[in-house]
Chains A and B, each alone.
Chain A
Amino acid sequence: MEILVCIKQVPESNKVEVDPVTGVLNRNSAASKMNPYDLYALETALRLRQELGGRVSVMTMGPPQAEAVIREAYAMGADDGWLITDRRFGGADVLATSYTLSQGIRRAGPFDLILCGKQTTDGDTAQVGSEISEALSLPALAGVLRILSAEAEAVTVEMDLTDKVETVRVSLPCLLSVEKDIAQPRLPSYVRKQAMKDTPIHRLTLADMEDTDPAHYGLSGSPTQVQRIFPPESNHKQEKWTGDGPELTGRLFRLLKEQKLWQGGR
């Protein structure tokens, strides 16, 4: 099976600080990492490869230094990596990003299965997966909790529909956005990192794409414009309860259920 995993480089800190006056994202260090949600997609891909054979490729769009997350994916087990990088792709919104990735996938493919993480920790839109599938006219499923079975022509998965879980069989090729905790991601391996040190990374620029019209990419291809960035309201709430054991236990149980922190008996 030919599997592609879409990955992204994000700032290392999960605490995004925004200057309340200027609205500028305060990236207090240059440190970055692979989007934690993408690790689950990559792990899912590596397990499918173990089961069915084939290859796992990864693709990212970003500045040249985004190469680091492809190297990281190599160290985790990916076979092949694609970096989409061109100044003209800069400033892309969700739609332009998805379109660019879909163009890259047309160039790098064909793939039987495309896997995405649930969302990124910097943008948090959770839309890129679905929009890629739209641009490629592929069936897509989001909220994938578990892959029940995978064969050459179809996969059967469990999909989280918030209030229920749906089991879906979907024909390949398709795109799946997987949930956190679908599988505990493996750690990058030093041995693999050394072994893959000289494995090249494919680079794609605008000139490599099927559609070379710059108006479809980057800022000019983005119908949404950011007007203002502001820090989210902090909603840390503290409550103090008094009462006896059984009463407090009942209350705590109800609260956990209400807040959907309790997953038992689903």
Chain B
Amino acid sequence: MKRMLTPQELAELEALLPPGQVLWGDAIGPDWTHDELSGVSGMPGAVVRAQNTRQVSAVMRFCNDHEIPLTPRGAGTGLVGACVPVAGGVLLDMSGMNRILALDEDNLSVTVEPGVLLMELAAYVEERGFFYPPDPGEKSATIGGNISTNAGGMRAVKYGVTRDYVRALEVVLPSGEILTLGGETVKNSSGLSLKDVVVGSEGTLCVITKATLKLLALPPRTVSLLVPFPSLRQAIETVPAIVRSKAAPQAIEFMEQEVILDAENYLGKRFPDHSAPAYLLLRFDGNTLAAIEEAYDDVAKLCLAQGALDVLISDTQERDESIWTARGAFLEAIKGSTTYMDEVDCVVPRSRIHEMVDYLHALEKDAGLRIKSFGHAGDGNLHTYLLKDDLSQEEWEKRMADTMEKIYRKARELGGQVSGEHGIGYAKRAYLQESLPPAALALMQGIKRAFDPKGILNPHKVFEP
């Protein structure tokens, strides 16, 4: 089923681009064959390092004409194999298109190429007093990748997800045609929102070559509260009350002592407190310290009333760094604590998050493997990691598949979805199929055919068998 390129095709492809932008054979290093976690790998027939939209268009037309599969790729930080060229063909590396094109202070937007990294965008806008709220933990992901997975992150509780900040997209269709979807306008009621169909489509419909993103004014101050609890259950059960309190924190994260200790080992740095079994981490923003203190005061009291051991205040850059650096390293830290792992990124209604966490805790005993989770308690999005440790490959695969099945079943039962922010890619297709009504799946496949009649774009991903 793997499509490699003939020497003739490679020569034609090379002729489309300036020298050095097409790689094949030994020049394709292992980095291009996998992403960060999924265990999915695939060797492409050629890697094309695109530098501009015209090149993307030429390559896509070529692949479409020759029916060569084409998989777009950003920084390769995905966790579900979405950017892995499982069908061979051409891997279109977009990371070279990484310029910030324009900051529009009149329309509060910034226009970027898709290869700009999230951390570069954040630094660029924040230096100028603006704020791009989506805040996934992986800061070295590309904006193109964030749009393709509709990435969420920690600030989703208050500010929403990537989709809420995409105003316009320049995309290239498989035919090579270049289209702009959406626009610089705040409102738009002009037909189907194709831009929103593309957000979260994981490279299955078209290739994004430019994005105009909405910005907000940067909140001048933030304060984080680290709240220790005597048990995870008490911590999680406090979350719905915080949401109800209308205090509107930017972020509500939960973490357990064990993961904090892993992060301390991984980073070689101490967390400001690791004496309690479980923590909530909240972040508030506002114009002045006094305004923020007023906003969090009720939440602090509420946490204490729910049994919190204390409410610890982080109000300076140094204190924030000591907490959030560790929070940002959780994934890597857990990865470093075991031999291999796989993840579940399910999302449930936030009012039911405690049921999910309870379930996972109970499941750990039955599953016969270590389960660690942390995540965005405030928006119902849990990151759960199943750890292989010293299990044999056979035993691991059996227990992992069985456990995942149970977790997804529970998520569905609670009214949840397969993925909150990491996407479906290659690794989670079966679970998506189980969770969606056949009619919804058929609509998705129909949309796919309308964009990509020959089916060359990122085959076998998301809704495709």
- Nearest-neighbor residue (CB-CB) of B319 within chain A: A187
Looking at the complex, which of B17-25, B268-276, B424-432, B446-454 is the stretch in contact with chain A?
Answer: B268-276
> Are the CB atoms of A39 and B312 closer together than 8 Å?
no
Task: Known contacts A187-B272, A187-B273, A191-B304; decide if A12 and B310 are in contact (CB<8 Å).
Answer: no
| Cα A193 to Cα B273 with chains together (Å) | 17
**Any B CB within 8 A of the CB of A186:** yes
Chain B, interface size category, equals: 20 to 34
Complex partner residue of B316 from A36, A183, A191, CB under 8 angstroms: A36
Q: In the assembled complex, which residues on chain A have CB atoms less than 8 Å from the CB atom of B314?
A: 187
Asked whether A190 and B300 contact (CB < 8 A) given A12-B316, A39-B318, the answer is yes
> In the assembled complex, which residues on chain A have CB atoms less than 8 Å from the CB atom of B313?
75, 187-190, 193
Proximity bits, A59-88, B CB within 8 Å = 1, else 0: 000000000000000010000000000000
Whether A189 pairs with B289 at a CB distance below 8 angstroms is no
Q: What chain B residues lie within 8 Å of A186 (beta carbons)? A: 272-273, 312
Residues of B within 8 A of A189 (CB): 310-313
In contact, B226 and A187 (Cβ under 8 angstroms): yes
Q: Distance in Å from the Cβ of A66 to the closest Cβ of chain B?
A: 16
Q: Is the CB–CB distance between B322 and A190 below 8 Å?
A: no
Given contacts A36-B316, A187-B314, 20 further A-B contacts (CB under 8 A): A12-B316, A14-B317, A33-B315, A36-B318, A75-B313, A183-B270, A184-B269, A184-B322, A186-B312, A187-B272, A187-B313, A187-B319, A188-B312, A189-B310, A189-B312, A189-B313, A190-B225, A190-B300, A190-B304, A190-B312
* Nearest B residue to A183, CB-CB: B270
Q: B272: which A residues are within 8 A, CB to CB?
A: 184-187
Q: How far is the CB of A48 from chain B (nearest CB, A)?
A: 18
- B236 CB, nearest partner CB in chain A, Å: 20
Whole-angstrom distance between the alpha carbons of A79 and B72 in the complex?
Answer: 60
B310 & A190 in contact (Cβ 8 Å cutoff): yes
* Per-position binary interface string of chain B over residues 261-305, scored 1 when its CB falls under 8 Å from any chain A CB and 0 otherwise: 000000001111100000000000000010000000000100010
For residue B309, which residue of chain A has the nearest CB?
A191
Within the complex, the shortest CB–CB distance from A249 to chain B, in Å, comes to: 17
The answer for the CA separation of A31 and B322 in the assembled complex, in Å, is: 20
Most chain A CB inside 10 Å of its own CB: which residue of B271, B304, B313, B315? B313
Whether A190 contacts B316 by the Cβ 8 Å rule is no
Would you give the shortest CB distance from A241 to chain B, in whole angstroms? Answer: 19
Query: Which chain A residue shows the least CB distance to B289?
Result: A31
Bound complex: CA A36 to CA B316 (Å): 9
Q: Are A187 and B289 in contact (CB under 8 A)?
A: no
Measured between beta carbons, the chain A residues less than 8 angstroms from B289 are: 31
Contact A184 B270 (CB under 8 A): yes
B382 to chain A, nearest CB (A): 26
Residues in B with CB closer than 8 Å to A33 are 315-316
> Which residue in chain A gives the minimum CB-CB distance to B311?
A190
Chain B residues near A14 (CB, 8 Å)? 317
Q: Which residues of A contact B310 (CB under 8 A)?
A: 189-192
B271 pairs with A187, CB closer than 8 A: no
- In the assembled complex, 13 residue pairs joining A and B whose CB atoms fall closer than 8 Å, in A order, are A33-B316, A36-B316, A36-B318, A75-B313, A186-B272, A186-B312, A187-B313, A187-B319, A188-B315, A189-B310, A190-B225, A190-B312, A192-B310
Write out, one digit per residue, whether chain B residues 217-245 have a CB within 8 A of any chain A CB (1) or not (0).
00000000110000000000000000000
- A188 to nearest B CB, angstroms? 5
User: Whose C-beta in chain A lies nearest to the C-beta of B288?
Assistant: A31
Scan A33-69; emit 1 where CB is below 8 A from any B CB, else 0.
1101001000000000000000000000000000000
**B316 to A, closest residue via Cβ:** A33
Interface centre among A14, A31, A39 (most CB of B within 10 A): A31
In the complex, the chain B residue whose C-beta lies closest to that of A43 is: B272
**A residues 83-137 touching B (CB-CB < 8 Å):** none
Which residues of the partner chain B approach A183 to less than 8 Å between Cβ atoms?
270
In Å, the complex CA distance between A23 and B186 comes to: 45
- Distance in angstroms from A261 CB to nearest chain B CB is 13
CB neighbours (8 Å) of A184 from chain B are 269-272, 322
User: Which residues of chain A are near B271, meaning CB under 8 Å?
Assistant: 184
A256 to B: closest C-beta gap in Å? 14
Least CB distance from B297 to A in Å reads 9
CA distance A110 to B359 in the complex (A): 57
Give, as a whole number of angstroms, the nearest-CB distance from A236 to chain B. 15
Residues of B within 8 A of A187 (CB): 226, 272-273, 312-314, 319
CA of A12 to CA of B300, assembled, Å: 24
A186 to B319, CA, bound (A): 9
A183 to B322: give the CA distance in the assembly, Å: 12
- Chain A 154-169, CB within 8 Å of chain B: the 1/0 string? 0000000000000000
Residue of B nearest to A37 (CB): B318
Q: In angstroms, how far is the closest chain A Cβ from the Cβ of B291?
A: 13
Q: Mark A221-244, 1 if CB is under 8 A from B, else 0.
A: 000000000000000000000000
A33 to B315, CA, bound (A): 9
Q: Which residues of A contact B304 (CB under 8 A)?
A: 190-191
**Bound complex: CA A36 to CA B322 (Å):** 12
- Most chain A CB neighbours (cut-off 10 Å) among B289, B300, B311: B311
Q: How far is the CA of A191 from the CA of B225 in the complex (A)?
A: 12
Q: Which of B226, B316, B319 has the most CB of A within 10 A?
A: B316
Q: How far is the CA of A39 from the CA of B319 in the complex (A)?
A: 10
**Lowest 5 A-B CB distances belong to which pairs?**
A184-B270, A190-B311, A187-B312, A188-B313, A36-B318
Please, which residues of chain A bring their CB within 8 A of the CB of B319? Answer: 185, 187
Q: Which residues of B contact A31 (CB under 8 A)?
A: 289
Residues of B within 8 A of A34 (CB): 316
A39 to B317, CA, bound (A): 13
User: In the docked arrangement, what's the CA distance between A183 and B270, Å?
Assistant: 8
